[in-house]
Amino acid sequence: MPDDVEGDDAREADDRRPRLDDVFRPRFARWVTGTLAVVVALATAALLVLLPATGLVGYSAADLSGIAFVGLAIIWFCWRQATVAATPMPEGLRVRNLATTRTVPWAQIVWVRFGEGRPWVQLDLDDGDTMAVMGVQRSDGQFAQHEARRLATLVAARTRTTRDD
């Protein structure tokens, strides 16, 4: 009986472990920015409702529109940060960072770096350029180390050739 229980535990652990082709997403940054977006949304809504109700003169429609715009801009920024990811696709790695989204063909990725002091994984590309992959962030600690190794393994598997070159 104990052998069966251990086997079940091992299978459950394997089910929770990400597969090689799963999407790379940060954990801590998603939690923080998601929480911040909710707080900002609630605060913005409260300001828009409560400021006119105070009866104080000086809050025009332009003022309230400005408050709404700033609140929406902060929420958009948080959403964008919460949705950074690296998605393995047959043709390459689709990297969605804070400001850009780009698909890099597997053959262009030369090396995956995640050394000390780097806030996120970096890809060395065949044209000499580097590219940040914010989907794997140092703030995630050991999880980030595991994800960086998984990405390096995936790149090696996708760029393997039949020749030794």
79-117 pLDDT, tens digit each: 999 999 999 999 999 999 999 999 999 999 999 999 888
User: Could you tell me how many helices (H) and strands (E) the chain has, helices first?
Assistant: 4, 6
Domain-embedded: residue 107: no
Domain-embedded: residue 104: no
pLDDT at 7 over 90: no
For residue 68, which phi and psi values (nearest 5 degrees)? -65, -40
Domain-embedded: residue 126: no
pLDDT at res. 72: 96
What percent of the chain has pLDDT above 70? Answer: 84
pLDDT at 40 over 60: yes
Q: Are 134 and 97 in contact (CB under 8 A)?
A: yes
Domain-embedded: residue 55: yes
Buried b (16+ CB within 10 A) or exposed e, 122-160: bbeeeeeeebbbbbbbbebeeebeebbebbbebbeebee
Domain-embedded: residue 3: no
What percent of the chain has pLDDT above 90? Answer: 65
Domain-embedded: residue 57: yes
pLDDT at res. 55: 67
10: confidence class by pLDDT, cuts 50, 70, 90: very low
Cα separation, 46 vs 40, whole angstroms:
10
> How many independent structural domains does the chain possess?
1
Domain-embedded: residue 76: yes
Cα separation, 141 vs 144, whole angstroms:
5
Domain-embedded: residue 63: yes
pLDDT at res. 81: 92
**Domain residues for 74?**
28-82
21: confidence class by pLDDT, cuts 50, 70, 90: confident
Both tokens of residue 143?
A: 């999880």
